[in-house]
Amino acid sequence: MDNPNLQASLKVNIESIKSCTNGSDDLIVREFRIGSGRAERDIAILYFDGLTDERSINQFIMEPLMQYGHLQGDRSDSKENHLLDRLKNSVLTVGQIREVDRFEWASDSLMNGSIVVMLDGYLTGLSISMAGWEQRAVSEPTNQTVIRGPKEAFTENITVNTALIRRIIKDPRLTLKNRKIGKVTKTNVSIMYIAGIADEEALKEVNKRLEAIDTDSILESGYIEEFIQEESYTIFPTVQNTERPDSVAASLLEGRIAILIDGTPHVLLVPALFVQFFQAAEDYYQRADISTLIRVLRYFGLFIATLVPSLYIAITTYQQEMLPTQLLISLAAQREGVPFPAFIEALIMEATYEILREAGVRMPRAVGQAVSIVGTLVIGQAAVEAGIISASMIIVVSITAISSYVIPEFDMSIAVRILRFIFMGLAAAFGMFGVFVGMSLLLLHLSNLRSFGVPYMAPVGPINIGDQKDVILRVPHNSMNTRPSMFSKLNPIRQRRARNKGK
């Protein structure tokens, strides 16, 4: 296109926009005339089929234009834009309306589900937001379910998602900043934070990292996550994602920053610390004492999921003296006739389990039952009875598999799964010594990580006594007087000392 600006000739303009979209057949162009006599004009409305709400176009654009358009406007009007202004100000009964004078903008707004109105003889057109396409309704979360608590989850539509958050936090300080990322997909990405609570430095850092993304497509939050996460390599997630508006609201109130991406129900939260991957939304909705107990259980689950197979391998192949005699004898009895070393045995079972798990996620729903039946046979009795695997190994693998799902955040349980194999290798080669060296290295690595400037292990390392209220403990709400200090020092007071004790 030679000239980026709209021309006076309607025909030229339409042709230009058509060529701009390579003559795609779903671009609808409706041409008609408005006005009468000397004021008669050619007018065209353009939109993409399926991206717009056809009924609203008929009702709020076509109808007013055809019925009232001829009453107003006069070619002799001194002001060139007069007719267009009239249309904009008193004819079109729509909310979001904007003038465009460049083809690029016009085609952009078409892509986003707007319609473009162009009038012959004018150098500007109108872009009217009338997006309306088929979309999924707000439904229950599929991954982060709760027994007690709100049961709505984000959808693929970013405006619905921001509305879900705004409905929870009704405060003018809740701020939303939009940007488009992806040269081809032009995906809407929004940053949400509460001004005055979120840390300015972290905010700058988030903006800087988003700014630096230079790619042609953002299809899911995972793309953004990988672009903005810390540079040093780690298997641990340093960006959290959630599909629960209430979790996002809670994080915003703690001074964190949410990144919403159009087209995915997963919202990113930064900074994300180790302990946060063990906090579930429900912890705050049920009694504090049971939440604390369950937190302890989760960390115990973490221990089991990471270390139990490796400890089993280490103890049964190197440090048999650590077992009580009776246990040693019964384990030895189970291993009689098992042809593989314990490490290979564990690898076989872990691999079998991982295959089953992956198959369970990927397979078509219809064959699910067949897979689970075969799976239970393989992982269960048959392997033991055939004498290939010892019964105790089945127990170890099963408890490990279940324990990894006690961790509320999926990203963390993936990290734990990877760790498990590393530790198994260390245990097979070096016994308990290997396991402990591995643990020391793991601890060093974790202490070395940061998420958007915040130490990953905070508030445990560096320790902060005041912030322990929400790590392993979940103290009652009337004692949570301050916000966690690791994210932001602004506005630390959540509530004054509780007087509202139901007296």
Partner 1 sequence: MMIRKLVSLLLAISLVLPLAGCWDRRELNELAISVAMGIDKSGSQYQVTVQVVQPGEVAMQKGGSEGMTPVTLYKAEGTTIFEAIRKMTTVSSRKIYAAHLRIIVIGEELAREGIGDALDILSRDYELRSDSFLLIAKGTTAAHTLGILTPLEKIPANKIYESIQTSEKVWAPVISVTLDKFINDIESKGKNPVISGIKVSGSNEKGGSLGNMKTTQPAVSIQNNGLAVFRKDRLIGWLNQEDSKGYNYILNNIVSTVGHVDCPHGGQVALEVIHSEAQIKSSFQNGRPRLAVELRTEQNVGEVKCQIDLTDMQVIRELEQQAEQVLQGILEHLLEVSQKKYKSDFIGFGNALHRSNPGEWRSLKTDWDEIFEDAETDVTVKVKIKRTGTVTNSFMEERE
Question: Where on the chain is the footprint of partner 1 (CB under 8 A)?
Answer: 316-318, 320-321, 325, 328-338, 341-342, 425, 428-431, 434
- Is the separation of the CB atoms in 181 and 218 below 8 Å? yes
Whole-angstrom Cα distance, residue 271 to residue 319? 41
* Choice between 81 and 334, CB closer to partner 1: 334
Whole-angstrom Cα distance, residue 258 to residue 274? 17
Least spacing, CB of residue 338 vs partner 1, in Å = 7
* Choice between 18 and 335, CB closer to partner 1: 335
* Choice between 219 and 322, CB closer to partner 1: 322
* Choice between 172 and 339, CB closer to partner 1: 339
Whole-angstrom Cα distance, residue 136 to residue 263? 11
Least spacing, CB of residue 381 vs partner 1, in Å = 11
* Choice between 424 and 458, CB closer to partner 1: 424
- Is the separation of the CB atoms in 247 and 145 below 8 Å? no
Least spacing, CB of residue 431 vs partner 1, in Å = 8
Beta bridge partners of 114: 129
Least spacing, CB of residue 430 vs partner 1, in Å = 6
* Choice between 257 and 331, CB closer to partner 1: 331
Burial-class residue 2 by CB neighbours within 10 Å (0-12, 13-18, 19+): exposed
* Choice between 34 and 308, CB closer to partner 1: 308
- Is the separation of the CB atoms in 252 and 193 below 8 Å? yes
Least spacing, CB of residue 229 vs partner 1, in Å = 18
Least spacing, CB of residue 385 vs partner 1, in Å = 9
* Choice between 146 and 348, CB closer to partner 1: 348
Whole-angstrom Cα distance, residue 396 to residue 379? 12
Q: Which residue has the tokens 């939440």?
A: 291
Least spacing, CB of residue 316 vs partner 1, in Å = 5
Whole-angstrom Cα distance, residue 305 to residue 196? 40
Q: Strand 187-194: give its sheet, edge to edge.
A: 174-181, 187-194, 257-261, 267-270, 240-242
Least spacing, CB of residue 300 vs partner 1, in Å = 26
- With a CB cutoff of 8 Å and minimum separation 6, the contacts of 416 are 302, 305, 306, 404, 407
Residue 78 CB: number of other CB atoms within 10 A?
6
Q: Which residue has the tokens 């490796």?
A: 310
- Is the separation of the CB atoms in 5 and 39 below 8 Å? no
